[in-house]
Copies of this chain bind each other. A is one copy, B any other.
Amino acid sequence: MSDKILSISRRTRATPFTRRVEAAGVKGYTVYNHMLLPTFFESNEADYWSLCEDVQVWDVSCERQIEILGPDSERLIQLMTPRDISQAVIGQGMYAPLCDENGGLVNDPVLIKFAHDDWWVSIADSDVRLWARGLALGYGLDVRVREADIWPLAVQGPKAETLVTRVFGDEVPGIRFFRSKMLAFRGKKVMVMRSGYSKQGGFEIYLNDPALAEPLWDELFAQGQDLGVRPGGPNLIERIESGLLSYGNDMNHHHNPFECGLDAFIDLDADIESISLPALRRIAGNHRHQLMGLVFDEPMQIDDFSITADGVEVGDIRSQVWSPRHRRHLMMAMMKRDYLSVHKSVVVNGTIGRIVDLPFDFATI
């Protein structure tokens, strides 16, 4: 665990929830989309158990919404992603890789069709706004691209539905996964979606009025007291156990979606205008790396992210954590497929680890 201070400035933007996050005793942040993202309050492990057993409130304002408005909005969105978006329903979220003309990953957002000519791109950590504006200008598209004044707040954990229902009412349980409803808080309609960056279940509230941020935070904590509600954030242990990818960690613009196991989100045969499809059609099946799980039976110290075998680099450790539940050290590593074709294990720091598919299947490892 690093003990380095984060130097905070206007550039590492605060959110409408930051005062409450600070008052709740946040101990760590990262910077995500030029904005503060709380990482832990008590410890990664204590926060993990709270998330898995009860319910947490997360300030994920840094999931910035790049709003693409106007007659050409759907065309621009389709240009940016190789996933066919033509069947999207209003209010639906769609996980979709964004890829450049070489097939490289630009981001892996959740696309939200908010209205026919109004799409929200709920982004991971890269300036999609700039890419979208460059494309819009160059292609001469009739769209407006902006970072919207929306600050998502996530409620995650097995008791999230109970808590969100108490605050937003009886329509909440009827919301399906990656679907949303516009529900009222203090008389203002906000989008409530069943989604979030954990596998513990929960919702994301797309707050659109900063004046309601502290009242919403306070209401969730007041209504959740008997549920054991705690402040939290995307949890390193939980997200790796659950095999949730993190753009910038597990993959970046040097990788294509096949290398990350995102094949299901690429419509290679669709008759759509998408910047990356020609490259992805060439790459499909010929990609050279694959993001894999590595499993070690004891806690590991990592001095070097590079994995070598017989003096040759065969992999790159991207994320790793000790799982207190499964008593295994888990890694996600970008491995050379050449190596995978003949090996089922790897040696890191003198310790043998098994190579497994993602997400981890704890029944078999």
A residues bordering B, Cβ < 8 Å? 1-12, 26-31, 34, 39-40, 100-101, 106, 125-140, 236, 246-250, 253, 275, 305, 318-319
Q: Is the CB of A9 within 8 A of B319?
A: yes
- Which of B29, B250, B318 contacts A5 (CB under 8 A)? B29
Q: Is the CB of A7 within 8 A of B12?
A: no
Residues of B within 8 A of A11 (CB): 30, 125, 246-249
Q: Chain B residue with minimal CB distance to A13? A: B248
Q: Is the CB of A30 within 8 A of B10?
A: no
Q: Is the CB of A3 within 8 A of B5?
A: yes
Q: In the assembly, what is the distance between CA of A247 and CA of B140, in Å? A: 28
Given contacts A7-B30, A28-B6, contact A130 B134 (CB under 8 A): yes
Q: In the assembly, what is the distance between CA of A8 and CA of B131, in Å? A: 26
Residues of B within 8 A of A28 (CB): 4-7
What are 28 A-B pairs at a CB distance below 8 A?
A2-B5, A2-B7, A4-B6, A5-B5, A5-B27, A6-B6, A6-B30, A7-B29, A7-B30, A7-B39, A9-B30, A9-B246, A9-B319, A10-B248, A11-B125, A11-B246, A12-B30, A34-B248, A100-B133, A106-B130, A130-B131, A131-B131, A131-B133, A134-B134, A134-B137, A135-B135, A135-B137, A135-B138
Q: Chain B residue with minimal CB distance to A100? A: B133
Residues of B within 8 A of A31 (CB): 6, 12, 30-31
A-B complex: 7 closest residue pairs judged by Cβ atoms: A138-B138, A134-B134, A11-B248, A127-B127, A130-B131, A6-B6, A31-B31
Residues of B within 8 A of A128 (CB): 130
Q: In the assembly, what is the distance between CA of A85 and CA of B45, in Å? A: 54
Q: Is the CB of B4 within 8 A of A27?
A: yes
Residues of B within 8 A of A100 (CB): 133, 137
Q: In the assembly, what is the distance between CA of A38 and CA of B1, in Å? A: 17
Q: Is the CB of A275 within 8 A of B131?
A: no
- Which of B10, B27, B126, B319 contacts A249 (CB under 8 A)? B10
Q: In the assembly, what is the distance between CA of A250 and CA of B100, in Å? A: 31
Residues of B within 8 A of A7 (CB): 2, 28-30, 39-40
Q: In the assembly, what is the distance between CA of A127 and CA of B126, in Å? A: 7
Q: How far is the CB of A116 from chain B (nearest CB, A)?
A: 24
Q: Is the CB of B6 within 8 A of A275?
A: no
Residues of B within 8 A of A133 (CB): 100-101, 131, 134
Q: Chain B residue with minimal CB distance to A147? A: B253
Q: Is the CB of A6 within 8 A of B5?
A: yes
Q: Chain B residue with minimal CB distance to A106? A: B130
- Which of B5, B12, B30, B131 contacts A134 (CB under 8 A)? B131
Q: Is the CB of B34 within 8 A of A305?
A: no
Q: Chain B residue with minimal CB distance to A246? A: B11
Q: In the assembly, what is the distance between CA of A208 and CA of B8, in Å? A: 30
Q: A10-B249, A131-B131 are in contact. List 14 more A-B contacts (CB 8 A).
A: A4-B28, A6-B29, A7-B28, A7-B29, A10-B305, A11-B246, A11-B249, A30-B31, A101-B137, A130-B134, A134-B136, A134-B138, A135-B138, A137-B275
Q: Chain B residue with minimal CB distance to A141? A: B138
